[in-house]
Each structure stands twice: as C-alpha cells, then as structure tokens.
Amino acid sequence: MKVHKYIPDRLFGFCVDGAGGQVFFHLASFHPGDAIVKRCANCPSSGCSWVDTPPPPILGEEVDVILDESVPTQEGRAPRAVRVERVAQPKALEGIVDMFDGHRGFGFVVGEDGVSYHLHTSEILDRKIPRKGQTVMFFPGTRQGRPRACHVKVC
C-alpha cells in the first residue's frame, strides 16, 4: 500500500492499494523507523528537531499495513489499521526554492537530485514562507503521480 493522504493537524491519514481500496490510520499506529542523519548546510550541529526524529508519513511512500480485524468495518467507511510500517527508510533531500507564491500557497523547489518538486504551504513546517533561492530540506513524495516536497524545513 501507499500513503495517499496525511493530515498533520489531525494526526491521521489514509493508505491506498493498487485497486483504490483505502485504509484509515492514526499516527499512533504509524511506526516511522530511525531518525534522520542528514543536515543542511545552514543547520546547527545540534538542536535541530527536524533531523533528530523520523518524519511522519510521506505522501506516496510504500507501507505495510496490518488491519484491525477485531472491529467490523462500517458501511461506507474505510477499515482501520492497527499498524502501518515503512517499507524503506526515507532519504532527506536539500533543495533550492525555485518560486513560491505566498498568496496562492504553493511553489516549486529543485532538489539536489535535479527534480522539480511541488511545494505546498501545508507541507511547510513552522509556517515559514520560503523565498526564491532559499535552501530547504524535505522528503521527496508523490501526489497524484507528481513529485511533491513533504515535511519541508526552511533553512
């Protein structure tokens, strides 16, 4: 399955399988793995909480899901997961903001891998608005088949 949607403010999300079937999960059932070891050039050597904890679910990432078989699924509702686990540890990327429209709430960042990632204000941590040319750290994800910058830290 893949993470289809994650709402950080509400601490829940949905996974989807290849046939479009959805599974609900709460952040408490998500097992993120190990802490991140990559720091951007502007990050102090200690005290950066972004690199000291593993990221929450990333849009488009592969996960293993165990369903809660003890609770019957209600009509029109997605089954609930008791455990969601990453298949692979995500890699953080450093990137440069190519453009960002603060009024419209989106822009693009070019990662160190050369890919242009869609950057949405809902993915920016600490609600800092990035400027063109500014360095950011993020996790590469996908949304609707397109590259998306997830859990973005403005450096």
For residues 38-64, average pLDDT: 74
121 burial level (CB within 10 Å; 0-12, 13-18, 19+) = middle
Output the CATH code of domain 93-154: 2.40.50.140
In this predicted model, what pLDDT tens digit does every residue of 86-130 receive, in sequence order?
999 888 899 999 999 989 999 999 999 999 999 999 898 888 889
Sign, CA dihedral 104-12-18-62, equals positive
Do residues 11 and 26 make contact, with C-beta atoms less than 8 angstroms apart? yes
Q: How confident is the model at residue 45 (pLDDT cuts 50, 70, 90)?
A: very low
* Structure-token pair, residue 99: 């453009």
Please state, as a whole number, how many other Cβ atoms lie within 10 Å of the Cβ of residue 50.
Answer: 20
Is residue 70 predicted with pLDDT exceeding 50?
Answer: yes
* Structure-token pair, residue 54: 């593993």
Do residues 40 and 58 make contact, with C-beta atoms less than 8 angstroms apart? no
- Which residue intervals of the chain bear CATH 2.40.50.140? 2-86, 93-154
Q: Where are the alpha helices (DSSP H) in the chain?
A: 49-52
Is residue 72 predicted with pLDDT exceeding 90?
Answer: no
41 vs 135, residue with greater confidence? 135
Sign, CA dihedral 34-138-110-97, equals negative
53 vs 49, residue with greater confidence? 53
Q: Give the span between the Cα atoms of 138 and 55, in whole angstroms.
A: 10
Assigned fold of 2-86: OB fold (Dihydrolipoamide Acetyltransferase, E2P) (2.40.50)
For residues 136-143, average pLDDT: 92
